[in-house]
Structure 1
C-alpha cells in the first residue's frame, strides 16, 4: 500500500521533480535553437514541419460568428451543439471578439455543414467559413449575408413558387421560404430567405407589373438589417455600438 504523503513530503517530492527536469534539460542531446539576427533584431524561421501538426489538426474545422450580436460563449456553444448535433462535432473553441472555431471529426462532416451555409441565431445571420492556414480570422470580410424578409400585400394569385421567386429577385438572390409560406397556412405575408449585399440599400418597398400591366407596390420588412460601422468599416454594429 502506497502511503499518503504529508504536506511536507509533497513539497519535497514536487521540488525533486523540478530538479530532475532541470537536470535532464542540461544533459539533453537535443540540438538547441539559436535564432538568427538581422540588423540587431532576433529572427526565427519556422519550418513546415513546425506548423504541420496543427494544420492537420484543424483541417476539419470551420470558423464563424453571429453578425450583429455577441452572446455569451456558453449560449453560442449550446446553440452550435444543438444545430450540428448530427455532424460529429469534436470541439468548439472561442478565439476573440465573438469568433468561434468548430472542429469536426471528419472533413466530410465539416463540408456538409458549410455547403448550405445558411444559419440564423435570433433572426441574425451566422457567418461560417471553412478554415485554412491562410485565413484571416476577422469579421470584416463579409460581402453578402442571408436575411429573412416579409412581403406584405400580395394577392393570392402571386403566391405561386414562380411568382415569389421572380418578385424576391428584385431584392436579391432567393434561397428558401419558411414553412407557412410553402404550405400557405398563413397568408398575411410571404416570408423568405434571401442573400443581400451588405453595402447596398434595403428598400422598404418594391414594385412590379402584374399580368395585366398593373403596377403593384409591395411592402418589404426585414427581420434584421446589416449595419456598417463608419469608423472601422465592420459589419453588424454602428460607430456608437463599438
Structure 2
C-alpha cells in the first residue's frame, strides 16, 4: 500500500479554493510575517474592485430581505451579488465600477424605511472595524467660482466639511455649474457649516453656500451616528424611586379656642314605660314617656322638681270640681287645708 506523504493529497479536489499551496512565513522576534508578491494582491483587488460596502444606521436587516430588496431596486443596473458579514454589514458586487458609481450617485437608498449607507470598497479596508463615528454624505456647494472646478479645487473646498471622497459624474464633466456635488466622509464631531469663506492669497474672498440633502441623527453622548442622545443605550439610566406616602396631620383646635368637651351622658331610650309607686302603694304608670318630657338621666343627678306628684294630682281633682282633698290618714304628704 502506497504511503500518503501529506494531508493535502487527501483533501485535494476540484472545489473552489480547493487547490491551496503552502508558502513558508518568516519568524522574527517571536512574530510571524507574511510577504505576498504584488501579483497576488492585485488578483484579489481586481475581484472586489467593483463592489460596494453597505451598512444600516441602526439594527441590521436579515440577509434574505436585503437580497430581495436590492435585486428588485437595482435590477436596472444589472446583476448584483450580495455577501453578508458577521457584523451586520453587506458587500454588493457588480459587473463593473461604472455601475457602482451610478448607484452611489443616484440617490440615498432605503430598505424597509431604513437608510442604507454605501461606501466604495477599497484595498486594505477592514470592513469588520467600520464604525458609525463617520458616515459618507453628499454635499452641495453653491456659488462656487469656476476656477475651483478642478479636482484639487474641489478637494480644498470639500475639506472644509469633512474628508472628500469623490465628485459625482455631472460635476466631473462640468455639465451642471449651478452647484458642485461631492461625497464627503462626515465626522460625528463636525459642526456642519452652512457656509464657508474661500480666501485667496491676493486678499480676495468669496462665500460659498453648503447644503446637506440628508444628515443622519447623531448622539453627542456616545459620539456615533444612527440615533439621538435620548435613545442612547450607553447613557446613564434613571432609577425610579417610589413616592413615599404622606403622613396625615393631626387636627388641632384653633389658637385661643378650646374644644368642646364630649357629652358622655347616656339617655334612656324613648318609648319605654316608666312605673312609679305612690305613698299608698298605688302603681302609677305612663306608657307615653316621650310626651311627658321627663327624661331620666343615667349617671347624672336629676334635678328636683319644685312640684310633687301628689300636688299635680290634687290640681287635677280641683279642675274637675270636687274641691280640695281632705286629709287622709293613710296618705302621707296631704294637707287638709294645703293648696298649690
Q: TM-score scaled to structure 1, two decimals?
A: 0.50
User: What's the CA shift for 1:32?
Assistant: 5.7
* Distance in 2 separating the partners of 1:19 and 1:140: 44
User: C-alpha offsets along residues 184-235 of structure 1, whole Å, 9 cap, x if unaligned?
Assistant: xxxxxxxxxxx9986579xxxxxxxxxxxxxxxxxxxxx996243734x332
Aligned residue for 1:43?
33
Report the counterpart of residue 178 of structure 1 in structure 2.
none
CA distance in 1, matches of 2:26, 2:190: 50
- Partner Cα distance (1:197, 1:72) in 2: 28
1:109 alignment partner in structure 2: 99
> Paired residue for 1:230, among 213, 218, 221?
221
- 2:9 pairs, out of 18, 21, 25, with 21
The offset of 1:117, in angstroms, is: 4.1
Which one has a bigger Cα radius of gyration?
2
Structure with greater strand percent: 1
- CA–CA distance in structure 1, aligned partners of residues 11 and 84 of structure 2: 38
Residue 51 of structure 1 deviates from its aligned partner by: 2.1
Task: Identify the structure with the greater helix proportion.
Answer: 1
Distance 1:23 1:124, change over 3 A: closer
Structure 1: unaligned runs, 5 residues or longer: 1-15, 25-29, 147-194, 202-222
> 1:229/1:82 Cα in 2 relative to 1: closer, same or farther (>3 Å)?
farther
Question: After superposition, where does 1:112-151 map in structure 2 within 5 Å?
Answer: 112-137=102-127, 138-143=130-135
1:1-242 matches, within 5 Å, as: 21=9, 33-137=23-127, 138-143=130-135, 226-228=217-219, 230-231=221-222, 233-237=223-227, 239-240=232-233
Give the CA deviation at 1:121.
2.6
- CA drift at 1:143: 4.2
| Residues 1:87 and 1:37: Cα distance change in structure 2 (over 3 Å) | same
- Compared CA separation, residues 241 and 64, structure 1 to 2 (3 A): farther
Counterpart CA distance in 2 for 1:94 and 1:121 is 15
- Aligned 8 A contact 1:198 1:226 in 2: no
d(CA) in 2 for partners of 1:40, 1:20: 27
Could you tell me how far apart the structure 2 residues matched to 1:101 and 1:226 are? 24
After superposition, what is the alpha-carbon deviation per residue over 1:112-140, rounded to whole angstroms, capped at 9, x for unaligned? 11122411233332111111113342132
- Preserved contact between residue 60 and residue 104 of structure 1 (Cα < 8 Å): yes
Structure 2 distance, partners of 1:41, 1:225, is 42
Unaligned 5+ segments in structure 2 are 13-19, 139-183, 192-213, 236-340
Q: How many residues align?
A: 152
Secondary structure of 1:115 counterpart: helix
Matched residues in 2 for 1:20 and 1:133: separation? 30
Label 1:121 to 1:200 Cα distance change in 2 as closer, same or farther (>3 A): farther
Query: Looking at both structures, which has the greater relative contact order when contacts are Cα pairs under 8 Å and sequence separation is at least 6?
Result: 1
SS in 2 for 1:46: coil
Q: Which consecutive aligned stretches of 4+ in structure 1 deviate over 6 angstroms post-superposition?
A: none
